[in-house]
């Protein structure tokens, strides 16, 4: 995150004594830094040393089940056809992946009794349905549908839903950080006046009373596809305070202020966050182009160097036939795509669109899993025939 934030109680200077209420024992300072010691960082103060571990063991790997011979073709699949029991992590089903990201969906129907940390990846969690509290070692964030929670690599957290009748999340794991694009920020880091969102739109972690209990606390650590169970002798949320630039936060898709042009504007105007290997965009309800002869839907285009993934959230999808809520389309590198027959003519004269979607454009090809094969519309690639 590009902004300084502080939660709870911290000493006046870094690296000095910081005594607990008894006046004798010290809080334990932990620096959480990125890019060695050169990137953004935060400094936390724990009741216990964060290194304490009673036991550890390796669990069964996360199952990827790659679709080895997935053909090069346009694909539409329906993520709601794949639902697994479990919490925000255990119920994930992976659909797409490359060496820099993993894309999955989940329909959590319970909360976890363990704590979770992704040691090798940053996580983007789009809350499609459901609400509750994201709890972490940086504080808590109340979440609701439409929130996009960014969890930095190494954060210990739980995603606790308030009910279990209909929850759905869309998750992207990334080996590099989700960043606010540089051109949305001025030379001081502040968001510019023409960025599609501003500092006020972010939900930041809030303080809660740290847990000061001993016992046995299970921490599930994900390292690539490997899983480890650590048993800690104290509650992991024992932070009395922290400050810095590295922390989880949330941004609701409904707070994205889309730009409109006289003629069709390309996807970069929908950019939300970027990483080193893909970009993430938000498509939101907006007025259409205002040239009297404008064609509102996108022109045909070939993504020579990026695979385009769209996760359809809500509303009417102006250029796609047959897609619905929870659908994903994958338009891979090197193939042209665009509006299906009739969609250009249908759009002429339209004044506005009501659609919510999340797009990921990866700069490396994406592979699929068997989940894609099992939930895809076999005839999607034929849908451009008149
Ligand atoms: Fe496209």
Q: How far is the CA of 310 from the centre of ligand 1 (A)?
A: 9
Q: How far is the CA of 301 from the centre of ligand 1 (A)?
A: 6
- Reading the block at residue 84, the tokens are 């697994």
Please tell me the least confidently modeled range out of 165-174, 210-219, 281-290, 312-321.
312-321
Q: How far is the CA of 316 from the centre of ligand 1 (A)?
A: 16
**CA gap 36, 20 in Å, rounded:** 30
pLDDT score of 303: 82
Q: How far is the CA of 363 from the centre of ligand 1 (A)?
A: 14
Instruction: Give CA 267 to chain center in angstroms.
Output: 18
pLDDT score of 321: 72
Domains of the chain in start order, with CATH, are 52-69+82-237+248-253 (2.60.120.10), 256-378 (2.60.120.10)
Instruction: Give CA 261 to chain center in angstroms.
Output: 28
Q: Is the pLDDT of residue 319 over 80?
A: no
Q: How far is the CA of 290 from the centre of ligand 1 (A)?
A: 21
Does the pTM surpass 0.95? The reply is: yes
Name the percent of the chain in helix, strand, coil, to the closest 5. 10, 40, 50
For 172-225, write each residue's pLDDT tens digit: 999 999 999 999 999 999 999 999 999 999 999 999 999 999 999 999 999 999
pLDDT score of 1: 66
């Amino acid at each position: 995150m590009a902004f300084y934030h502080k939660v709870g109680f911290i000493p006046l200077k870094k690296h000095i004594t910081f005594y607990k209420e008894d006046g004798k024992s010290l809080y334990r300072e932990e620096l959480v830094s990125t890019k060695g010691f050169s990137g953004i960082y935060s400094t936390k103060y724990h009741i216990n040393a964060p290194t304490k571990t009673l036991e550890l063991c390796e669990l069964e790997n996360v199952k990827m089940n790659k679709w080895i011979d997935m053909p090069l073709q346009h694909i539409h699949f329906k993520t709601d056809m794949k639902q697994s029991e479990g919490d925000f992590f255990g119920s994930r089903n992976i659909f797409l992946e490359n060496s820099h990201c993993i894309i999955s969906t989940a329909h959590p129907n319970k909360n976890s009794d363990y704590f979770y940390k992704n040691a090798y990846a940053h996580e983007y969690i789009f809350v499609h349905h459901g609400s509750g509290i994201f709890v972490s070692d940086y504080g808590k964030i109340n979440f609701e549908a439409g929130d996009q929670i960014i969890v930095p690599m190494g954060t210990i957290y739980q995603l606790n839903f308030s009910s279990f009748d209909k929850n759905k999340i869309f998750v992207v794991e990334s080996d590099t950080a989700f960043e606010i694009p540089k051109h949305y920020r001025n030379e001081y880091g502040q968001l510019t006046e023409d960025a599609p969102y501003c500092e006020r739109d972010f939900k930041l972690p809030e303080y809660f009373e740290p847990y000061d209990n001993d016992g046995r606390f299970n921490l599930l650590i994900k390292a690539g596809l490997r899983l480890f169970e650590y048993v800690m002798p104290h509650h992991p949320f024992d932070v009395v305070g922290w400050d810095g630039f590295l922390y989880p936060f949330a941004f609701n898709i409904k707070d994205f202020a889309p730009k409109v042009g006289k003629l069709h504007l390309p996807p970069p105007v929908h950019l939300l966050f970027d990483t080193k290997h893909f970009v993430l965009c938000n498509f939101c309800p907006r007025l259409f182009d205002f040239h009297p002869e404008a064609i509102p839907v996108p022109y045909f285009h070939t993504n020579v160097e990026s695979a385009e993934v769209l996760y359809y959230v809500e509303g009417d999808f102006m250029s796609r036939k047959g897609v619905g809520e929870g659908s994903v389309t994958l338009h891979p590198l090197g193939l042209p795509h665009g509006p299906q027959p009739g969609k250009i003519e249908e759009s002429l004269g339209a004044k506005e669109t009501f659609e919510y979607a999340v797009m990921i454009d990866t700069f490396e090809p994406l592979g699929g899993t068997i989940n894609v094969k099992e939930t895809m519309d076999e005839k999607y690639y034929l849908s451009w025939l008149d």
